[in-house]
Amino acid sequence: MNTMNNQLLTGGLRDVVHIIPLGHEIDRAVAPFTKNKADRAYILAIPPDGGLDPGMVKKQHYFVGRVTGRLQELGIAVTFVPVAMFDILDVLKVVSFLIRTEKEAGNAVYVNMSSCGRKTSVAVTLAAMVHEVPLYYVSADRYATGGGEEECEHGLSIVENVRTEVFQRFRIMMPKPENVMLLVELL
């Protein structure tokens, strides 16, 4: 038995945890769970009081509510994490913290890079690769147009046939702590 991957933890078996940074999407956030199980999910989105356009904030939190409800219907515990989604460094910091925390608890962590905007996607991709956790992309079959009923039901992307691609990991070497201290002194 491989004790590294199959060890029993004090709380029992490992949890399967997904980190889902959320833009105006529903299907891309929920579709993977029609074929795969999860215990918990973090939904990352802009905070309600983030100082952004009130219409955009309202629309974003509509999608947060829909995705939260759908995941809970599937038996997945959901935690909302407010993040400055347009700030790559903030997203990197928050996602890295969540990954480290869950890995330290012995849990399996997966990151969805397809349910958010491009800048956020770059940040979560870097965080997943640095911390060596699986990163996945959910392909859309078509897209909602005109902001109507289809968008309210599915989000911007419509997934009819679930195709989830796990990206190959590229090793990103972090500098040693003493090198980080040296770099800080150079600033």
- Neighbouring C-beta atoms of residue 27, cutoff 10 Å: 24
Q: Residue 12's pLDDT is what?
A: 67
Q: Residue 3's pLDDT is what?
A: 36
Q: Residue 145's pLDDT is what?
A: 87
Query: Is residue 2 situated within a structural domain?
Result: no
Residues of the chain with pLDDT under 50: 1-9
Query: Is residue 3 situated within a structural domain?
Result: no
Q: Residue 181's pLDDT is what?
A: 76
Of the candidates 37, 30, 33, 31, which has an alpha carbon nearest to the alpha carbon of residue 14?
A: 37
Query: Is residue 73 situated within a structural domain?
Result: yes
Q: Residue 2's pLDDT is what?
A: 36
Domain containing 107 — which CATH number?
Answer: 3.40.50.10770
Query: Is residue 55 situated within a structural domain?
Result: yes
What is the enclosing helix (H) or strand (E) of 164? strand 164-166
Query: Is residue 144 situated within a structural domain?
Result: yes
What is the enclosing helix (H) or strand (E) of 60? helix 54-73
Instruction: Look at the chain and report how many structural domains it folds into.
Output: 1
Q: Residue 175's pLDDT is what?
A: 75
Distance CA 79, CA 163 (A): 25
Query: Is residue 49 situated within a structural domain?
Result: yes
Q: Residue 142's pLDDT is what?
A: 95
Query: Is residue 163 situated within a structural domain?
Result: yes
Query: Is residue 7 situated within a structural domain?
Result: no
Contact of 16 with 37, CB cutoff 8 Å: yes
Q: Residue 6's pLDDT is what?
A: 39
Domain that holds residue 102: 14-186
